[in-house]
Structure 1
């Protein structure tokens, strides 16, 4: 396992040499001038200009002060009543209340923009239509469901919920391979792409130019030239720092169909709140890779950013792949219609146990992953182990975690020792005291940053996916993952947790008490806005 924790200096040097020669490597922008005139600088300037204009109009229009004050109070009251009646998480309501109370003018404007949601309504309508028109394509094994009803009623109830409310069927004929680090998944990803005969679908939150993406792109280009249909979809946030504006055109020139999910424009709008955080790679409908790994060098530890980057991935072969194929095509086809049936052949494998592929969609009211997570905690009989990079949770999730520990379940959580984002790191630590007091064991991954979103419980249940324990993942993003039940691969996931416990530091109550006051204050200041982050 040590080889997975740290890449040798020799190997790292060789990789660096490849990176320096690789035409896909991003050039470093070091000067202040280049930053100012970069896309980031221009976006920041336009957004700041909009904010300035908002406040200028509010503060300098020659209107009687009492009229402004009265209007502000009236609009605040109306906004608060609207927020109170909204069907959203109570913590989000409190965040809006706090924002409007502290900064009435800006808070009201921002709330109004959130309700108008420039571009969002049309996008939501297209996605809902796409799902409603294609959900019938999911293959449901009624005989299997009836067998579960007789043999395992608790699992049957979860299966019925996921199928009835999300069209996520259960399958019992799938092979699975678990990767404890992204480094290990890379060779199999390349091999899978090389084996493609019909189509390759990629959907990723992050793509960053470098060794990993360069290597994958080279293989995708070869496949496209051979007549294999290659589709690539990525989240619009990549256009801010990672990818050039003409990246889709570059891909099209290589024979790769490319789409950007929710492109970013320099306007103030909560339209950008719902991001495509999924990680999906489908090959010919025969196999799928999913989990926490994005297409960037830190995910395979070629580039070191926050110590060793710990992430997990899983490969599935069998009928369950169909769920991820449909999930991909539903987003891809949200603004166009095509016959999807040719992509939906099933290729059963001789596998034990049960698998459910599932996704979260912020447009829908159901929060599938949150409900699955809480189901695992509420039904655990012995233990529940969790890996997550972020811990920004509501009262419901906190109650499930603490209640499980209080009734004697061995609840353990592994979080990063080295953060990638400071504010979420401080917010996570603000939960430590309550969790530890209830009996939850907190570990911090000593080698560096843990990006895995993986659960295992009682040798029977596991989840590997893209879903963090924070408001953004549980409520705002498009997410995906796989729920496993009585599957042999669960033992591999458990073994990975055991190794991580050994190399992580358990956080004690003494550690919590010694945590610096200034960082505790940062968490207190950030907490009211956590659901809006």
Structure 2
């Protein structure tokens, strides 16, 4: 029944709490004005509200969130004495339970199975010191590994990638791993699913993971059970369990496909029709993806296995040698011709160091000539704003491309509210006139780049499971730069004067949106 679609119960909890809070407030006002105020009852209500505010205020202040987000949550909890604390638990609190501590330990015990190669690290240092600094950070923060023997293909749009993805899936002989935030039945997914069904019949190990919240409105209820009938091992990440698990902010936002351990796809593209522009939602959908072939694919395989084992099959003993690329590489020596160094990395909510934000900061802070950025949302943390401003004031050419047609109007206005401080410092900002930017890509100095799933907003940087790829090499950087240059031509540069005109009309709205930014 549509009324009981997934997501109904979690919304019901929030709605009932809102009704309870405002019901209590209305009751308090009614009895006050009718001179029937029950002193003890009113006292209890006020005491409970103040106590909740005080306790959650301490929790927020002592947390490790950015100060701007602490201010937002203090405002929300203060204004909504009953609902505010509940919303904080639902969407922001990152405490580690005993179960989550074990998850954290088990996750890193898997992703750390790849061995670092000091010779490759030295090669990175010789080729690009700035790239080496980013790689070093990611190696230490995420147990990631820098690889040499790999070939890269860059796709500036999802529809450029899709035919090659289908071709690779059809060649699979051993296993196919798929982990995506969104999987929506339609032309794109149906074509993929048709191949997966055939591969299962051939004895290929096919595993699929998607996020429950990411697919509330698009994927049928019990779709995992439907896929299981075909022999596909399907799992739903973070299944919504009302009244049992109240936190819904920590989502699996990754996009990873691995074929036989030596071919991988990743980037911003989900498995839904709008991502390959056969369904028009917000004009042209500008996204990107990369295809990796060779040794670096082991990094993506470990990321997938870490998600699979820690969430769905913790007792399974992994035969890591079975999944190494060398096991199935057709011709290992063919990858020596590509000079790109590749570092696949993941980010999880419970990590001591937010890898996505750290990688972006390191790339910006170590740039010597320019930094180009594509992002669907520009809701940067104070650290990111500070780094971008400092880079621009230091003479670095900093350019950012955001959507011209938004997928979320409130987020669009919040994004624009941050233009002022950046434009004033000399950052150039462009809006893609033809549609929506969904790519999450950084490029610096014709050598260092990142392509992945990590948006410039609080949820992506701190709360989600994400993945990215650090690329150090002139060849792939040239392709990405060419994509940037073409996109600049299809975009409108925003001036500081234009921003000031917007601010006159939107200043109050922007202020409110800044306060509720944690939800956007």
Q: TM-score, normalised by structure 1?
A: 0.87
- Aligned residue number for residue 344 of structure 1: 324
Q: Which of 256, 267, 280 is the aligned partner of 2:232?
A: 256
SS for the counterpart of 2:372 is: strand
Cα separation, 1, equivalents of 2:144 and 2:94: 29
- Aligned residue number for residue 379 of structure 2: 392
CA contact (8 A) 1:468 1:474 kept: yes
Residues 334/407 of structure 1: CA separation in 2 closer, same or farther (3 Å cut): same
Superposed, which structure 2 residues align to 1:52-67 within 5 Å? 52-53=19-20, 63-67=40-44
Alpha-carbon distance, 1:344 to partner? 2.6
SS for the counterpart of 1:145 is: helix
- Aligned residue number for residue 32 of structure 2: none
Q: Which moved further from structure 2: 52-61 or 465-474? A: 52-61
- Aligned residue number for residue 308 of structure 2: 332
CA contact (8 A) 1:456 1:462 kept: yes
Residues 42/151 of structure 1: CA separation in 2 closer, same or farther (3 Å cut): closer
Residues 40/158 of structure 1: CA separation in 2 closer, same or farther (3 Å cut): closer
CA contact (8 A) 1:129 1:334 kept: no
State the superposition RMSD in angstroms. Answer: 2.5
- Aligned residue number for residue 481 of structure 2: 494
How far does the alpha carbon of each residue in 1:253-287 deviate from its partner, in whole angstroms, 9 at most, with x for none? 11110010001244597511011010000000101
Cα separation, 2, equivalents of 1:168 and 1:469: 21
CA contact (8 A) 2:175 2:204 kept: yes
Cα separation, 2, equivalents of 1:344 and 1:307: 41
Residues 419/150 of structure 1: CA separation in 2 closer, same or farther (3 Å cut): closer
How far does the alpha carbon of each residue in 1:212-266 deviate from its partner, in whole angstroms, 9 at most, with x for none? 0111111111111111010000001145211112100111011110010001244
Residues 417/269 of structure 1: CA separation in 2 closer, same or farther (3 Å cut): farther
Alpha-carbon distance, 1:87 to partner? 2.2
Cα separation, 2, equivalents of 1:145 and 1:40: 46
CA contact (8 A) 1:389 1:453 kept: yes
Alpha-carbon distance, 1:181 to partner? 0.3
Q: Which of 115, 138, 144 is the aligned partner of 1:139?
A: 115
Alpha-carbon distance, 1:56 to partner? 5.1
Residues 444/138 of structure 1: CA separation in 2 closer, same or farther (3 Å cut): same
Superposed, which structure 2 residues align to 1:146-185 within 5 Å? 146-148=122-124, 153-185=129-161
1:99 has 2:79 as partner: no
CA contact (8 A) 1:50 1:268 kept: no
* 5+ long unaligned stretches in structure 1: 1-33
Superposed, which structure 2 residues align to 1:426-445 within 5 Å? 426-445=413-432
SS for the counterpart of 1:363 is: coil
1:453 has 2:429 as partner: no
How far does the alpha carbon of each residue in 1:276-321 deviate from its partner, in whole angstroms, 9 at most, with x for none? 0100000001011000000110000000011010000000111111
Cα separation, 2, equivalents of 1:454 and 1:112: 31
Alpha-carbon distance, 1:519 to partner? 4.1
1:70 has 2:47 as partner: yes
Q: Which moved further from structure 2: 56-65 or 389-398? A: 56-65
Q: Which moved further from structure 2: 221-230 or 120-129? A: 120-129
Q: Which of 480, 484, 490 is the aligned partner of 2:467?
A: 480
* 5+ long unaligned stretches in structure 2: 29-37
Residues 129/503 of structure 1: CA separation in 2 closer, same or farther (3 Å cut): same
SS for the counterpart of 1:64 is: helix
Alpha-carbon distance, 1:378 to partner? 1.2
- Aligned residue number for residue 128 of structure 1: 104
Residues 259/487 of structure 1: CA separation in 2 closer, same or farther (3 Å cut): farther
How far does the alpha carbon of each residue in 1:9-53 deviate from its partner, in whole angstroms, 9 at most, with x for none? xxxxxxxxxxxxxxxxxxxxxxxxx86565566664454234434
Cα separation, 2, equivalents of 1:257 and 1:329: 13
CA contact (8 A) 2:372 2:443 kept: yes
How far does the alpha carbon of each residue in 1:309-338 deviate from its partner, in whole angstroms, 9 at most, with x for none? 000000011111111100011011114232
SS for the counterpart of 1:233 is: strand
Superposed, which structure 2 residues align to 1:261-300 within 5 Å? 261-267=237-243, 271-300=247-276
Alpha-carbon distance, 1:136 to partner? 3.9
Alpha-carbon distance, 1:69 to partner? 2.0
SS for the counterpart of 1:178 is: strand
Cα separation, 1, equivalents of 2:74 and 2:138: 34
SS for the counterpart of 1:511 is: helix
CA contact (8 A) 2:72 2:516 kept: yes
Residues 110/305 of structure 1: CA separation in 2 closer, same or farther (3 Å cut): closer
1:80 has 2:57 as partner: yes
CA contact (8 A) 1:117 1:271 kept: no
Alpha-carbon distance, 1:142 to partner? 2.6
Alpha-carbon distance, 1:466 to partner? 0.6
CA contact (8 A) 1:291 1:312 kept: yes
How far does the alpha carbon of each residue in 1:317-365 deviate from its partner, in whole angstroms, 9 at most, with x for none? 1111111100011011114232321223434522213111111111112
How far does the alpha carbon of each residue in 1:175-212 deviate from its partner, in whole angstroms, 9 at most, with x for none? 10000000100001100100101000000001111100
How far does the alpha carbon of each residue in 1:94-120 deviate from its partner, in whole angstroms, 9 at most, with x for none? 1221112222232234446679889x8
SS for the counterpart of 1:88 is: coil
Cα separation, 1, equivalents of 2:403 and 2:141: 34
CA contact (8 A) 1:426 1:520 kept: no
